Amino acid sequence: MDTIYALATARGKAGVAVVRISGPLSFLVVRQLTGGLPAPRQASLRILRDPAGEPLDQALVLCFAAGASFTGEDVAELHLHGSTAVVSAVLRVLSEIDGLRSAEAGEFTRRALENGCLDLTQVEGLADLIDAETEAQRKQAHRVLSGAIGQKVESWRADLIRAAALLEVTIDFADEEVPVDVSPEVLDLLAGVMRDLEREVRGAAIAERLRDGFEVAIIGRPNAGKSTLLNAFAGRDAAITSDIAGTTRDVIEVRMALNGLPVTFLDTAGLRDTGDTIEKLGIERAIARAKNADLRLFLVLEDGLTADIEPIDDDLVIQAKCDVRETTGPAISAKTGDGIEALIVKITDILSARASGAATVTRERHRVACVSALKALEIAVTEVKLGADRIELAADEMRTAIRALESLVGRIGVETLLDEIFSSFCIGK
């Protein structure tokens, strides 16, 4: 396998820049640059020199032997002073060494997968951790990166292998009398795995929302104060406010964190009958986004709710402009700030309650694999209950379920996904 190198930190001026090298020539490269090799996993301050002996930088050098590194190969890291000139000089020297080439996007992580250091869900967890913007996203991504999904898959797989083995005994001794009826133990094992899978499938949608962010749509008639409220949430003028009805034509988004949860607030066009073609298009978009949002916040004036969309589930109905009119029930003034803090707490409580039901699986691919395994096990249970004549069919369905779970962690059948997954990684990862 080629030896690859790349800048592992962001480009630009910084205190420290890290260049990573991975592959069979990594340690040879360190000897060429420094004249020696540090002890494994022990940082050593060395002068890096080009082939002519001219100093490039004074760097902290770390070496990790194959089997004890991120990629599973020999890995070296050069912790340089983070100037663009130093980084460029070191990368130029590396590019001139025979057998080295610049890494492709995500190639270090791909090698970690291929060498068995990470499973596919951990790779996806790493990508999510790099992209994490809030505390909840960080915690969820770290849980996946730590191997939580793979551990569950191993537990389910062990139970299914045990159940299949019990059935295989029945098949192997079909002409003899098996002293013990294995079906109760088999059904018990299958029931346990199915309960876990059902829980993961139920919580997958919430886990995905944690990863991508919740959406809260602000809905109401024109001049209900939606844009002013969005600006109050954002703490800046994110949306234009005006007394002229129909000022907001498109959906305006503001992303923020509430108690560690990623939330995007949507300021939508005021809902009313209009002959303005552009405003009408904005209203259609507003209704569509509001219907797909995780939570809707209705700002109500004297004339009540709009007929275009009705509140459901945990949707909030709030009286607007309490500073200039008499209101009953929950009310706010986006202009003065009255009631906004309590409203934020209420929104946070609702979304936090939903987030508490998040599953370990975080992506649609994970959910699909769990659903496939669950369907196969449902058929297997039916076949077991039909008696000894159907045992072979039941065992085959269990093998189908095991294959679905193995695809979840990347053991089989995921080659077509790899290019898409690793394309989202930066070059140095």
| Binding-site residues from annotation | 223-228, 242-248, 267-270
What's the burial of 337, exposed, middle or buried (CB within 10 Å: 0-12/13-18/19+)? Answer: exposed
Q: Which residues are annotated as a binding site for Mg(2+)?
A: 227, 248
What number of residues does the chain have?
Answer: 429
Q: What is the DSSP letter of 44?
A: E
Phi, psi of 99 (to 5 degrees): 90, -10
End-to-end CA distance of the chain: 17
Q: How many helices (H) and strands (E) does the chain have?
A: 13, 11
Phi, psi of 388 (to 5 degrees): -60, -30
Phi, psi of 72 (to 5 degrees): 90, -5
Q: Which residues are annotated as a binding site for K(+)?
A: 223, 242, 244, 247
Quick one: tokens of 103?
A: 């890494």
Question: Alpha-carbon distance 171 to 348, whole Å?
Answer: 56
Q: How many CA atoms lie within 13 A of 175 on its CB side?
A: 0
DSSP assignments along 316-327, one per residue: EEEE--TTTS--
Quick one: tokens of 61?
A: 């050098």
Residue 74 CA to its chain's centroid (Å)? 29
Q: Which residues are annotated as a binding site for GTP?
A: 223-228, 242-248, 267-270
Buried b or exposed e, range 126-155, using 16+ CB within 10 angstroms: bbbbeebebebbeebbebbbebbbbebbee
DSSP assignments along 85-149, one per residue: HHHHHHHHHHHTSTTEEEPPTTHHHHHHHHTTSS-HHHHHHHHHHHH--SHHHHHHHHHHHTTHH
